[in-house]
Amino acid sequence: MEPKTGLYIDTGYGIGEALDIEALKGVATDEFKPAVCKAESYWSDPDKIEIIKSDIASEGLKAVVIAGSSPRVYQDVFKFDGVITERINLREHVVWCQPPSHEDTQMLAEDYVRMGLTKVTKYQDKPPFTEETVKSILVIGAGAAGLSAALDAANAGYEVFLVEKEAELGGWANKFSKAFTGEPPYDQLVDSPLKSKIDAVKSNAKIKVFASSRVYAISGAPGMFDAVIRPDGPWIDELNHKQDTWLKVQLARQKQAQEGGTAEAQTEEEKAAAGGWAVGEELALDFPHEKVRVGAVVLAAGWRPEDPAKYESLGYGKYPDVITNVQMEELARNGKIKRPSDGKDVNSIAFLECREENSENPFLNNSYVTCLVTLKQAKYLRESNPNGRAYIFYENMRTPGQYEKFYQTMQDDPGVFLSTGRVLGVSGDGAGLAVEVKDSLLGERLKVKVDMVVLATGMIPVTEDSAVVNLRYRQGPFLPKNPYGFNDSHFICFPYETQRTGIYAAGCVKSPMDFQGAESDATGAALKAIQCAELVSRGEAVHPRAGDQSYPELFVTRCTQCKRCTDECPFGAYDEKPDGTPLPNPTRCRRCAICMGSCPERIISFRDHSVDMIGSMIKSVNVPDEYSEKPRVIVFICENDAYPVVDMAGINRLQYSGFVRFVPLRCLGNINLVWIADALSKGIDGIMLIGCKYGDDYQCHFVKGSELANYRVSKVAETLQRLVLESERIQLFQLSIDEYGKLPDMINGFMDTLSQFDPNPYKGF
């Protein structure tokens, strides 16, 4: 067989007792003729590894196949330079879940040997993707987050371009009177928290600052992004408008597509915006600008204050002495706090929580930060006016971690009155303001007379109004938002992974944060940006397949311009050529192979993973004739979660039908319908797909793989009809990694369903 292969069957772990090893070797040598075929116990032992190594040298092996334990163990041990290494899981997937010395167990093992040996014949020898890349970092925004990202990347030796829309660095810190720092002793306020950082950035030779500037466009891909930086001006509003129009048309189209039908663009402007974003359009850079090439991007554009106009019921807009917490910072910067209406000294302030009444999540944009700001501003009053009285009304005081001490200090201050309660309204009589509160600790319903009212308004991510990164991607200028409306990852386990590779969000574009939170978040984003630049320079994928050196290659001459790969890639890896064929950007690719599944022409493949490879593995399964009463089922499993589920079932020795054959995929979204057709036309009786949970709380590492698989499978009805087969023969299941206890019932239940049908009539064809 080609490549020259050695098969090493492990007889340890009970495999030798449960299986007829000689018969297994016979299948391999008769059907595949590997150059070496040996059976011994525990090939992972150092002396056995030496045997394999000497075989590689003496026989000139190009591939080594180990049939024994799960590939989830001994991955580091079974690693031979320059040699394809393939694992066949005879332990967890055969002998630990099937009765020993049984005909069906033996047939299962034999099929896995066939599939594994077939797989190695389909590897292609291709070098990793390494074009010339750069490792410099673009940081957008020079507030607390952006300054930290820039400085921490520069201090690790990387060149940084820092873009700030204001003339001065520092962002909101420049506008605040004082700040809490999150440092011991936790209850003290400091002036100018970012001053030393701003100085350090300015004096760092590795950081080039573009002040009063914005990012006009980013094109390219990780390692080779081209960013156009342009002096701030009215163009940004025009660009935002154009992008919004494009988005509107896209959303209308999506909605229509879901409801069936098509949405036509209405106005000329919408028609102009209806095409793919930036498809075939050359950038006309007929204005002052600077173009920089960067490896990765940190988006730290920050926040803007919530529009207080909606708090009219709290007196905003009606009474000049009802102000926001942002306005309060300006007042406090001037020393003693004076009333906006008449300039008189302020002796009492009511601080009110802003509950956005029509919002499902009224405090989403406040988080814990506005609570801390309220306490801080009460302290401003108390420090500048010893007779000052601060009334704070709240529903839940949110001072997490060590900030609780700040809260305790304020509770101990006799001039600060803290009370839970719902504010009913604010009224004014010329002399002052009256706040009416219900459910208060101080009484059921009370009125407090104060000189001034401060509203604790929230922090809105600037990405709500603008793409900021202004990507020149076929999928649009925006970073996709998570279900909370923020520009970042929806993963607990990989908090920095956005749906645009190489672009990492940090700070208040992700969630309201205090200075300390934003700074440490930004340092993490800088690490991810550096890591991305390093990985792509080595031709490797980024998280979660970091280190994978395969990448998609397209046989474009057979492309029918259906655009499914371009539309379905969750990471926007494909742009479009003028002729409508996809333009892959390998460094944007996460190697999930969802595109490989989406392609009806089967023209997308990886060196170690292809439609032909999986199809050939399925075809190598031995299908007994219809009278044997031995049905065969192919189970496509996601290698991230479902594969460990099968392993866990084995580890717990859970038993289930021996008629199933597992085929791991990079993601369930990797499924190509041709494999289902291949399997059915070969006489396979049923197909299961097991992937992770989808929906709002999706667990798919590639965002929508299992959901896409479900969508695709719903479309195979036609194929089944053509073959005159029952639709229940194909089913998709969602399973979490810890639900291995459910696997036997899931498989056996599916076999029960199949038993109601006749065998697949295509057996033997």
Partner 1 sequence: MAGNKTILVVGGGISGMTAALEAAEVGYDVVLVERQAYLGGRVAQLFKYFPKLCPPTCGLEINFKRLRSRPNVKVHTLAEVQNISGSPGDFTVTLKINPRYVDDHTATTKDVEDCPVEIPNDFNYQMDKVKAIRLPYEMAYPMNLVADKDALARAKGDSAFQAFAQSCAAKGIKLNLDAQPQTAEIKAASIVWATGWRPYDATKLTKLGYGTCKNVITNVMMERLAAPNGPTAGQIVRPSDGKKVNNLAFVQCAGSRDRNHLPYCSSICCLASLKQATYLREFNPDAQAHIFYIDLRAHGRFEVFYEKVKQDDKILLTKGKIVNITEDPTTKDVILEGEDILSGQKIRRTFDMAVLATGMQPNTSVDKVPASGVTYDEFGFVVSGPGIYSTGVGRRPMDVATCMQDATGVALKAIQDAVGR
Q: Which stretch binds partner 1 (CB under 8 A): 22-30, 248-256, 469-477, 529-537?
A: 529-537
By CB under 8 A, tell whether 495 contacts partner 1: yes
351 vs 403 by CB, closer to partner 1: 403
> Binding residue for partner 1 (CB under 8 A) from 270, 693, 719, 726?
693
Could you tell me which residues come within 8 angstroms of residue 72 by beta carbon, excluding any fewer than 6 positions away?
643, 644, 647
**Shortest approach of partner 1 to residue 73 CB, angstroms?**
4
> Binding residue for partner 1 (CB under 8 A) from 338, 405, 619, 630?
405
Helical pair 369-384 and 404-412, crossing angle rounded to 10 deg: 40
Q: Specify whether the CB–CB gap between 8 and 40 falls below 8 A.
A: yes
> Binding residue for partner 1 (CB under 8 A) from 35, 49, 51, 73?
73
391 vs 403 by CB, closer to partner 1: 403
- CA proximity to 159, closest of 196, 208, 122: 208
429-458 core/surface letters (b: 16 or more CB in 10 A; e: else): eeebbbbebeebeeeeeeebebbbbbbbbb
Residues from 319 through 358 that contact partner 1 (CB under 8 A): none
Token couple for 89: 């899981």
Token couple for 696: 């709002």
> Binding residue for partner 1 (CB under 8 A) from 644, 658, 669, 686?
644
- Mark out the alpha helices in 189-280 (DSSP H runs): 195-202, 235-259, 268-273
**Shortest approach of partner 1 to residue 726 CB, angstroms?**
33
212 vs 402 by CB, closer to partner 1: 402
Residues from 611 through 640 that contact partner 1 (CB under 8 A): 640
Token couple for 330: 């300006």
30 vs 444 by CB, closer to partner 1: 444
> Bridge partners of 140?
163, 299
Let me know the angle formed at the C-alpha of 31 by 27 and 34, rounded to the nearest 5 degrees.
90
Q: Phi, psi at residue 8, to the nearest 5°?
A: -120, 105
**Shortest approach of partner 1 to residue 133 CB, angstroms?**
14
132 vs 697 by CB, closer to partner 1: 697
Integer CA distances (angstroms), 558 to 48, 543, 583, 684, in order: 47, 31, 14, 29
Residues from 709 through 738 that contact partner 1 (CB under 8 A): 736-738
- CA proximity to 217, closest of 468, 552, 491, 543: 468
153 vs 479 by CB, closer to partner 1: 153
> Binding residue for partner 1 (CB under 8 A) from 101, 212, 334, 361?
361
By CB under 8 A, tell whether 664 contacts partner 1: no
- Mark out the alpha helices in 423-511 (DSSP H runs): none
Helical pair 103-120 and 611-619, crossing angle rounded to 10 deg: 150
> Binding residue for partner 1 (CB under 8 A) from 543, 590, 661, 704?
543
Cis peptide upstream of residue 544 (ω within 30 degrees of 0): yes
Let me know the angle formed at the C-alpha of 125 by 124 and 126, rounded to the nearest 5 degrees.
105
Token couple for 297: 């991007």
82 vs 234 by CB, closer to partner 1: 82
**Shortest approach of partner 1 to residue 356 CB, angstroms?**
11
> Binding residue for partner 1 (CB under 8 A) from 420, 427, 616, 731?
420
Residues from 120 through 139 that contact partner 1 (CB under 8 A): none
By CB under 8 A, tell whether 188 contacts partner 1: no
**Shortest approach of partner 1 to residue 112 CB, angstroms?**
19
Strands 389-394 and 416-420: parallel
**Shortest approach of partner 1 to residue 692 CB, angstroms?**
8
> Binding residue for partner 1 (CB under 8 A) from 50, 237, 404, 728?
404
By CB under 8 A, tell whether 476 contacts partner 1: no
186 vs 277 by CB, closer to partner 1: 186
Integer CA distances (angstroms), 371 to 404, 421, 456, 502, in order: 11, 14, 8, 34
In angstroms, the CA 37 to CA 626 distance is: 32
Let me know the angle formed at the C-alpha of 658 by 720 and 78, rounded to the nearest 5 degrees.
105
Residues from 192 through 231 that contact partner 1 (CB under 8 A): none
> Binding residue for partner 1 (CB under 8 A) from 641, 678, 685, 707?
641
- CA proximity to 115, closest of 664, 764, 731, 621: 621
Q: Which stretch binds partner 1 (CB under 8 A): 291-299, 375-383, 469-477, 691-699?
A: 691-699
Binding mask 29-68 for partner 1 (x = CB under 8 A): ------------xx-xx-----------------------
Token couple for 761: 């009539």
Binding mask 142-181 for partner 1 (x = CB under 8 A): ----------xx-xxx------------------------
> Binding residue for partner 1 (CB under 8 A) from 46, 82, 127, 185?
185
Compute how many residues bind partner 1; rule: CB under 8 A.
89
Q: Which stretch binds partner 1 (CB under 8 A): 465-473, 561-569, 650-658, 677-685?
A: 650-658
Q: Which stretch binds partner 1 (CB under 8 A): 115-123, 447-455, 488-496, 576-584?
A: 488-496
Question: Which residue is associated with the tokens 């984003």?
Answer: 525
By CB under 8 A, tell whether 80 contacts partner 1: no
272 vs 441 by CB, closer to partner 1: 441
By CB under 8 A, tell whether 524 contacts partner 1: yes
> Bridge partners of 733?
690
Binding mask 243-282 for partner 1 (x = CB under 8 A): ----------------------------------------
In angstroms, the CA 134 to CA 140 distance is: 18
Rounded to 10 degrees, the C-alpha dihedral 622/624/625/626 comes to -120
In angstroms, the CA 477 to CA 127 distance is: 32
**Shortest approach of partner 1 to residue 319 CB, angstroms?**
29
